[in-house]
Homo-oligomer: A and B are copies of this chain.
Amino acid sequence: MTMKVILAKHAGFCFGVKRATQLAFEAADRDGDIYTLGPIIHSPQVVQRLEEMGVKPVEDVSEVENGGTVIIRSHGVAAEELDAAIRANLEVVDATCPFVKKAQEHVAKLSDEGYDIVVVGDAVHPEVQGIVSYATGRVYVVSSGKDVERLPRMSKIGVVAQTTQSFEHLHDVVTACLSRGGETRVYNTICDATAVRQEEAKALAGQVDCMIVIGGFNSANTKRLTQICKELLPRTHHIETACQVDPAWFDGVEKVGITAGASTPKWLIDEVTNRISAIHKDKIS
C-alpha cells in the first residue's frame, strides 16, 4: 500500500515574508557589516542561514557598527528604533511587510487627527508593539469586545488590527466600540493569507490520517495552525526541521497532510516532504 503525501497549496511564505527574506539575502551580498533588528522572520533556520552569510541579528540599534547596514524585519519595529537607526546614519533596508506598514501609517494618521487608537491583537507580539509605537496619543491593545468595555470614555475611536488576527476578533471589537456611541473609524488591516492558510489546513486535516505542520516554534501563526489542525485531528505534529520527523507517526497511515507557517521557507518544506517519502519507501521495501 502506498502512503499519499498531500502538500497544502498555500503552505509556507506569505507575500510579506517572501519579500523580507529576499531583501535580506540581497543585502547579505553587500560589502560592510549587515544586521537585522531582531530576527528577520520567525524561522530559526532562515536566521541561521543568514548568519552563515554574515548577517547578524541584534536587539538594539546601539549594537550596530558605524557605517553598517540594518535590515528592518517583516513584523516591523517601533518608530523610535527606526528613528534611532536613521539618526545613527546607518544604511536602512526596510523589510517591513507592506501590510504591517499600512497599519502603522493608519495609526500615525488617526492619532494625529485626534482619534484614540484601539489595536486588535496580541500586546506582546513585536508587530503589535511596532504598530502601537506610531500612536502619538492614547492607544490600547485589545483582543475582544470585553476588553473594550474596560477602556475609558472615547468619542473618536480609530481601530486597526494585527495583520494576522481573525476577522471575528476585529468584528467583535468594532461592535463593542460602536455600542459606546460616537465615531468609530476602522481600517481592516487583516491580511487574508492567514485565513486562507488556516481554512486550507482545516480542509486538509479533515481528509488525512496525520498532519505535519512545519514552522518556527517561536512563530505565532504556525502554533495557531497546529492548534487548528489538532482540534480536528489529534495526530498532528508541529516540527521545525526534517530531522524531527518520527517514522512511528506514520504507522497505519494512508494519507499525510503537510502545511507550513508563513515564515517557513520552501527548502524546509521540501526537506520534510522528501524525508517522509523516504521513510515510507523504507517501510514498504
Chain A positions within 8 Å of B, measured between CB atoms, are: 167, 170-171, 174-175, 178-179, 181-188
List B contacts of A171 (CB < 8 A). 175, 178-179
Q: Given B167, B185, B187, which contacts A179 in the complex, CB threshold below 8 Å? A: B167
**In the bound complex, what is the Cα–Cα distance between A171 and B185 (angstroms)?**
14
List B contacts of A167 (CB < 8 A). 178-179
List B contacts of A182 (CB < 8 A). 187-188
List B contacts of A179 (CB < 8 A). 167, 171, 188
Instruction: Give 11 A-B pairs besides A174-B174, A183-B185, A184-B186 with Cβ atoms closer than 8 angstroms.
Output: A167-B179, A170-B178, A171-B179, A174-B186, A175-B175, A178-B188, A179-B188, A182-B187, A183-B186, A185-B185, A186-B186
Closest to A170 in B: B178
Q: Given B174, B181, B183, B184, which contacts A175 in the complex, CB threshold below 8 Å? A: B174
Most buried by B among A167, A170, A171, A178: A178
List B contacts of A170 (CB < 8 A). 178
Closest to A157 in B: B186
**In the bound complex, what is the Cα–Cα distance between A188 and B186 (angstroms)?**
13
Closest to A180 in B: B188
**In the bound complex, what is the Cα–Cα distance between A179 and B167 (angstroms)?**
8
List B contacts of A188 (CB < 8 A). 178-179, 181-184
List B contacts of A178 (CB < 8 A). 167, 170-171, 174, 186, 188
Closest to A158 in B: B185
Q: How far is the CB of A141 from chain B (nearest CB, A)?
A: 19
**In the bound complex, what is the Cα–Cα distance between A273 and B187 (angstroms)?**
52
**In the bound complex, what is the Cα–Cα distance between A181 and B188 (angstroms)?**
5
List B contacts of A185 (CB < 8 A). 183-186
Sample 23 A-B pairs with CB under 8 A, ordered by A number: A167-B178, A167-B179, A170-B178, A171-B175, A171-B178, A171-B179, A174-B174, A174-B175, A174-B178, A174-B184, A174-B186, A179-B188, A182-B187, A182-B188, A183-B186, A183-B187, A183-B188, A184-B185, A184-B186, A184-B188, A185-B185, A185-B186, A186-B186
List B contacts of A175 (CB < 8 A). 171, 174-175
Q: How far is the CB of A99 from chain B (nearest CB, A)?
A: 11
**In the bound complex, what is the Cα–Cα distance between A178 and B170 (angstroms)?**
9
